[in-house]
Copies of this chain bind each other. A is one copy, B any other.
Amino acid sequence: MSNKQHDQGNRHSLTGFVFNKLREEILDGKYKENDELKEVAIAKELDISRTPVREAIRQLELEGLVYSIPNKATYVIGISDKDIKDIYEIRALLERLCVKMAIENITDEELDKLESIIDLSEFYTSKGSMENVLELDNQYHELIYNAAGSKMLKHTLSDFHHYVQRIRHKTLADKDRAESATMEHKAIVRAIKDRNVDEAMDLAQAHIINAVKNIEKHGFWN
């Protein structure tokens, strides 16, 4: 769970609601590349005014998920297979950095929380409850991103992590992958607890690389 204060996911405002909805639909592939987003159509669909829709679209534009042609329309860009691949390559580097920083800054409470997340992950993995595993996977990464104590790094990694949420949903449905992912998390936490920087960094990097391998095994989107 990200902190409330700076959370874009403000579902109490219509702008935040529309932003999240459109973003999810773009990342989920419900909107395909070059699809048109017409403000009035979306507003009518949701039975709201154009104002929150416009604000949400401006945000999507900043994120690079859509682009607008003045007085014409907004078009979906979305993320391609190559984008996904690039994201994992970037993450492989940044997750290394992140665990290094986390080792320097993590608190005992956070470590306890991490371990309980791992325990729950093992439980739900064995039960095959993959929705819960995915949610715990999110919590695990968010916690480490926070523990690193770098606003910039957290912002970057959270964005990327969110971008690949859909594909993780698919890959974690593979029970073998879910099990090995949980084991990898466990090993990383172990190394963090031992303050073993080099091992933690290598494990974190390997964790991302393994994720990519698994994605490629499944042929990306299908």
A residues contacting B by CB (< 8 A) are: 5-6, 8, 10, 12-13, 15, 51, 54-55, 58-59, 61-64, 67, 70, 77, 79, 82-83, 86-87, 89-90, 93-94, 96-97, 150-153, 155-156, 160
Query: Within the complex, what minimum Cβ distance (angstroms) separates A53 from chain B?
Result: 11
A63 interface neighbour in B10, B15, B62, B79, Cβ under 8 Å? B62
Query: Is there an interface contact between B12 and A70, defined as CB atoms closer than 8 Å?
Result: yes
A63 to B58, CA, bound (A): 12
CA distance A166 to B220 in the complex (A): 41
CB < 8 Å: which of B63, B70, B94 contacts A90? B94
Q: Is B97 a contact partner of A94 (Cβ separation < 8 A)?
A: no
* Chain B residues, CB < 8 A from A51: 51
Measured between alpha carbons, how far is A214 from B59 in the docked complex, in Å?
35
| Complex contacts, A55 vs chain B, CB 8 Å | 54-55, 58
| Cβ contact within 8 Å between A152 and B86 | yes
| In the bound complex, CA of A87 to CA of B155 (Å) | 11
